[in-house]
């Protein structure tokens, strides 16, 4: 039996209350539910990180839905521990990942040094897009700021030379997942005109290749998120 079994039981119970309110409890709107889920996971993860020693020389990052503060009911958690050659990095990771696995919570995870973060951002477009949205959860804030700024600089410096590759990746995703506007059961996240296209606009704006998305795009994003939340 895992030594971390039960550590995340409080997180699981709180999630259950949010997702299935009891008699007399008001059901949250889709937007409010996402906000409550983000706050809950932020609190649990940051508290756990402090308890296991994620401090000086190490930082915990949220990427993906949690990083964007757009956590839907059954979204996986995307987490990265960045450490500046801490010898206990693997121990910290196991102490954080295993309770989540034991609780049946979906998890994408990695442990990297600052140099590895920049290398991944420079060589893997999909990873780079996710890392642009990274958010600090716990640990060394100066390390977080240093790493995320290096990732942004790498993105701005390299995306023009890799733009054709980005276009091909996007077209392949569209071909696989179809058009949000024309499918009976569209993929709201990956389909053409879906959420990933909006995230891509944000990334291109960060490289000053396009203008910041308009208010109309923000409204479309909110609508897609609300529908996706209700369908989860």
Question: What pLDDT digit, counting tens, does each position of 116-144 carry?
Answer: 999 999 999 999 999 999 999 999 999 99
Q: Could you count the other beta carbons within 10 Å of the beta carbon of residue 149?
A: 10
Record the pTM.
0.92
Beta bridge partners of 60: 81, 138
What CA–CA distance (Å, rounded) separates 93 from 99?
A: 11
At 1, the pLDDT band (50, 70, 90 cuts) reads very low
Query: Which residue bears the tokens 């958690």?
Result: 77
Which pLDDT does position 232 carry in this prediction?
79
At 187, the pLDDT band (50, 70, 90 cuts) reads very high
Query: Which residue bears the tokens 């897009």?
Result: 129
Q: Tens digits of per-residue pLDDT, 19-57?
A: 988 777 788 999 999 999 999 999 999 999 999 999 999
CATH hierarchy code of domain 9-158? 1.10.357
**Domain definitions of the chain by residue range:** 9-158, 160-231
Q: Mean pLDDT, the chain, as a whole number?
A: 94
Q: Could you count the other beta carbons within 10 Å of the beta carbon of residue 206?
A: 16
Beta bridge partners of 1: none
At 219, the pLDDT band (50, 70, 90 cuts) reads very high
Q: Residues near 31 by Cβ (< 8 Å), separated by ≥ 6?
A: 222, 225, 226, 229
What CA–CA distance (Å, rounded) separates 4 from 141?
A: 27
Helix (H) / strand (E) element for 96: namely helix 89-102
Of 139, 66, 133, 134, nearest to 106 by C-alpha is 66
Once rounded to an integer, what is the mean pLDDT over residues 209-228? 94
Q: What percent of the chain has pLDDT over 90?
A: 90
Q: Evaluate if residue 108 carries a pLDDT over 70.
A: yes
Task: For residue 104, give Cα distances in angstroms to 8, 29, 123.
Answer: 10, 25, 32
Q: Evaluate if residue 76 carries a pLDDT over 80.
A: yes
Query: How far is residue 15 CA from its own chain's centroid?
Result: 18
Once rounded to an integer, what is the mean pLDDT over residues 98-119? 96
What CA–CA distance (Å, rounded) separates 62 from 137?
A: 7
Q: Tens digits of per-residue pLDDT, 192-202?
A: 999 999 999 99
Once rounded to an integer, what is the mean pLDDT over residues 176-196? 95
Residue 84 carries which DSSP code?
A: S
What CA–CA distance (Å, rounded) separates 118 from 147?
A: 7
Task: For residue 107, give Cα distances in angstroms to 74, 80, 214.
Answer: 11, 11, 32
Once rounded to an integer, what is the mean pLDDT over residues 202-222? 93
Please tell me the chain's helix, strand, coil percentages from 3-state DSSP, rounded to the nearest 5: 55, 10, 30
Q: Evaluate if residue 2 carries a pLDDT over 60.
A: no
């Amino acid at each position: 039996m895992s030594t971390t079994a039960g550590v995340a039981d409080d997180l699981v119970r709180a999630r259950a209350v949010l997702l299935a309110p009891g008699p007399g409890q008001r059901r949250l709107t889709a937007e409010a539910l996402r906000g409550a889920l983000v706050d809950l996971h932020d609190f649990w993860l940051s508290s756990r990180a402090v308890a296991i020693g994620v401090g000086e020389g190490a930082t915990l990052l949220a990427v993906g839905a949690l990083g964007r503060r757009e956590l839907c009911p059954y979204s996986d958690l995307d987490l990265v521990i960045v450490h500046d050659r801490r010898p206990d990095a693997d121990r910290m990771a196991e102490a954080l990942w295993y309770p989540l696995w034991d609780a049946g919570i979906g998890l994408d995870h990695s442990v990297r040094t600052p140099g590895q973060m920049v290398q991944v951002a420079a060589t893997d477009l999909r990873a780079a897009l996710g890392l642009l949205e990274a958010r600090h959860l716990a640990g060394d804030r100066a390390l977080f700021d240093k790493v995320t700024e290096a990732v942004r600089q790498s993105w701005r410096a390299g995306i023009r030379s890799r733009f054709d590759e980005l276009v091909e990746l996007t077209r392949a995703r569209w071909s696989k997942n179809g058009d949000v506007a024309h499918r009976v059961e569209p993929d709201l996240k990956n389909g053409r005109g879906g959420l990933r296209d909006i995230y891509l606009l944000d990334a291109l704006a960060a490289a000053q290749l396009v203008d910041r998305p308009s208010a109309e795009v923000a409204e479309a994003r909110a609508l897609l998120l609300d529908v996706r939340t209700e369908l989860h």
